[in-house]
Every structure is written in structure tokens, then in C-alpha cells.
Amino acid sequence: DQQVKQNSPSLSVQEGRISILNCDYTNSMFDYFLWYKKYPAEGPTFLISISSIKDKNEDGRFTVFLNKSAKHLSLHIVPSQPGDSAVYFCAVGGSQGNLIFGKGTKLSVKP
């Protein structure tokens, strides 16, 4: 059973608009959340993370929001750029020390 779900396999957004990628998790013991970006034939690149003691973390155009009661996190990219087109993976971690990844959402930003 999947512990981390990214329910949208793909998302298409116009350049300059906001991209919102969503992620749900099942275990309330998870306390560290990350987003990675992956281009085809390359390894994932770390984007941004958030600890369970916060509900928002911002880094430039990227903001991650955490709703612990709903076990939900989201990544906002604004404004979206064509270079943001990639697969975005949500990952969660806890006391066991290893990360669990979702299946990813493929973002396409159209000029």
C-alpha cells in the first residue's frame, strides 16, 4: 500500500502562471518532507524541504506548504517557466531515517 501518493500523473501550466503540485501521505509519524525535480535520464535534484514544526517554507519561486492535519503537502511554483518542465517527486521521512518517494507528477510549462 502506497504511503506517499501523488495523484496527478501530469500537470500542464501556462508560462508565468502558478503551478501547484500535490502530495498526500498516510503516516502521521513522518516529520520531514522534501520535493525533488527530475529531468529524463538524470538523477533527481533536491528543490526544497520542510520540517513538521513548520507549515510553510519558501525559496525563491518555490514554496512548500504542509497541512499536518490533512497529511498533505504541496509545492507552489510562481511564476512557472518552461525550464521548470520536469517530473517532480515528493518524498517523506521519519525516525526510521530513510525516505519514501511518491510516483511523481510530470509538469509541462507551455510558453
Partner 1 sequence: EADIYQTPRYLVIGTGKKITLECSQTMGHDKMYWYQQDPGMELHLIHYSYGVNSTEKGDLSSESTVSRIRTEHFPLTLESARPSHTSQYLCASSPQERGYQETQYFGPGTRLLVL
Nearer of residues 77 and 91 to partner 1, judged by Cβ: 91
Nearer of residues 104 and 109 to partner 1, judged by Cβ: 104
Other C-beta atoms closer than 10 Å to the C-beta of 21 total 23
Q: Are 15 and 110 in contact (CB under 8 A)?
A: yes
Least CB distance from residue 33 to partner 1, whole Å?
10
Cell numbers at 36, concatenated: 525533488
Least CB distance from residue 6 to partner 1, whole Å?
9
Report how far residue 37's alpha carbon sits from residue 47's, in angstroms, rounded to the nearest whole number: 7
Least CB distance from residue 94 to partner 1, whole Å?
9
Nearer of residues 20 and 48 to partner 1, judged by Cβ: 48
Nearer of residues 2 and 14 to partner 1, judged by Cβ: 2
Q: What are the residues binding partner 1 (CB under 8 A)? A: 2, 4, 9, 31-32, 34, 36, 41-46, 49, 51, 89, 91, 93, 95, 97-104
The residue written with cell numbers 498533505 in the block is: 72
Least CB distance from residue 16 to partner 1, whole Å?
28
State the DSSP H helix or E strand holding residue 46, giving kind and residue range, or none if neither: strand 45-51
Q: Are 8 and 21 in contact (CB under 8 A)?
A: yes
